[in-house]
């Protein structure tokens, strides 16, 4: 297993130390002695088969779940010793499962990120806040979606609107839960390009992206965490984690891994 050494010397944004989680209803172990550290400016991929514990790890660093044992520190605060409602306001979260009214314009959806609400609270948005929402749409290269209804936007456009919404709080940590789900090839590439641009424009921002496909990883992602059956199989610099040997061990079947121009590809090796 790769250690957390070599993951940079910036300030710690999130840290899991000896974290285990059990399901309340059945007592089943979901996470088992997970150690993991994310530092400022790092971009992580969170990978593993279904049921590996990816969502549980994301919920912990997003302050929406608590460990059964071990400690979780996020943005300098320890879960269990901080009002998680205040902490969640400092963490950006993007998921295709987010409830967004389809009749809202792109600009209105981004505005709701200021109040953390589903519906706009118009009295809370002064001219400065409204201009900030426009600036974020421009930064993510979707300013033409400001007046378009969210419901008629493509999947890729929606994903970028949700990222702009998450950035309204100027978070130090951005969590992306399968943001590429159901995207076609052009939309996927647009979103990957957006993530690469974001990493360049915001050097202190840390991101964690949950995905099932290596092809969806932006070249900006420099670290990876592999989970299997609730345990850390490997973590650290992406080149040392996304190897054929480790991916094979993680997914339980022979996997061939290649990299070209900073992009990754994994496929089952039928000849192995």
Element (H, E) at 227: strand 223-228
CA distance 221 to 217: 7
pLDDT at 4: 45
123 CB neighbour count, 10 Å cutoff: 7
Beta strands in 105-251 (DSSP E): 173-177, 206-210, 223-228, 231-237
Specify the pLDDT at position 171: 93
Which candidate, 204, 216, 206, 207, places its Cα nearest to that of 242?
216
Taking the whole predicted model, whether its pTM rises above 0.85 is answered as: yes
Strands (DSSP E) contained in the chain are: 12-22, 29-39, 43-47, 69-74, 77-78, 91-95, 173-177, 206-210, 223-228, 231-237, 255-260, 263-268
The pLDDT score that the predictor gives to residue 6 is 39
Q: Where are the domains of the chain?
A: 1-90+172-272, 101-170
Q: What is the pLDDT of residue 270?
A: 65
Is residue 232 a contact partner of residue 223, using CB atoms and an 8 Å limit?
no
> pLDDT tens digits for 88-147?
888 999 987 888 999 999 999 999 999 988 999 999 999 999 999 999 999 999 999 999
Short-list 195, 200, 197, CA closest to 217: 195
pLDDT value at residue 181: 86
Phi first, then psi, for residue 56 (nearest 5°) are -65, -40
Task: Tell me how crowded residue 238 is: count the other CB atoms within 10 A of its CB.
Answer: 18
Average pLDDT, 10 consecutive residues per value, the chain (272 residues): 49 96 85 96 95 94 94 94 88 89 96 92 95 96 96 93 95 93 90 92 94 92 96 96 95 94 86 54
pLDDT tens column, 198-213: 999 999 999 999 998 8
Query: Quick one: which of 184, 178, 180, 143 has its CA closest to 164?
Result: 143
CATH pick for 1-90+172-272 out of 3.10.105.10, 3.40.50.300, 3.90.79.10, 3.40.190.10: 3.40.50.300
For the chain, the C-alpha Rg in angstroms (whole number) is 19
Report the alpha-carbon angle 217-218-221, nearest 5.
85
- Give yes or no for a contact between 198 and 66, defined as CB atoms under 8 angstroms apart: no
Q: What is the residue whose two structure tokens read 């426009």? A: 134
- The per-residue pLDDT for 5 is 38
């Amino acid at each position: 297993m790769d250690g957390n050494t070599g993951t940079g010397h910036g300030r710690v944004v999130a840290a899991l130390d000896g974290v285990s989680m059990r399901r309340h209803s059945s007592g089943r172990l979901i996470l088992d002695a997970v150690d993991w550290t994310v530092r400022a400016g790092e971009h992580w991929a969170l990978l593993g088969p279904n049921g590996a514990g990816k969502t549980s790890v994301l919920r912990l660093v997003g302050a929406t779940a608590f460990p059964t044992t071990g400690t979780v520190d996020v943005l300098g605060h320890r879960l269990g010793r901080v009002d998680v409602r205040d902490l969640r306001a400092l963490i950006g979260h993007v998921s295709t499962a987010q409830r967004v009214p389809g009749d809202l314009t792109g600009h209105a959806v981004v505005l709701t990120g200021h109040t953390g609400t589903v519906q706009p609270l118009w009295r809370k948005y002064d001219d400065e806040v409204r201009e900030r929402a426009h600036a974020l749409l421009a930064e993510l290269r979707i300013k033409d979606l400001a007046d378009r209804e969210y419901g008629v936007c493509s999947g890729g456009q929606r994903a970028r609107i949700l990222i702009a919404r998450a950035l309204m709080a100027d978070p130090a940590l951005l969590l992306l839960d399968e943001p590429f789900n159901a995207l076609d090839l052009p939309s996927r590439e647009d979103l990957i390009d957006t993530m690469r641009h974001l990493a360049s424009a915001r050097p202190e921002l840390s991101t964690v992206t949950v995905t099932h496909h290596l092809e969806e990883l932006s070249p900006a992602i420099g670290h990876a965490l592999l989970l299997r059956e609730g345990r850390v199989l490997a973590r650290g610099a992406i080149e040392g984690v996304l190897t054929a040997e480790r991916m094979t061990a993680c997914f339980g079947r022979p996997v061939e891994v290649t990299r070209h121009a900073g992009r990754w590809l994994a496929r089952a090796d039928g000849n192995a």
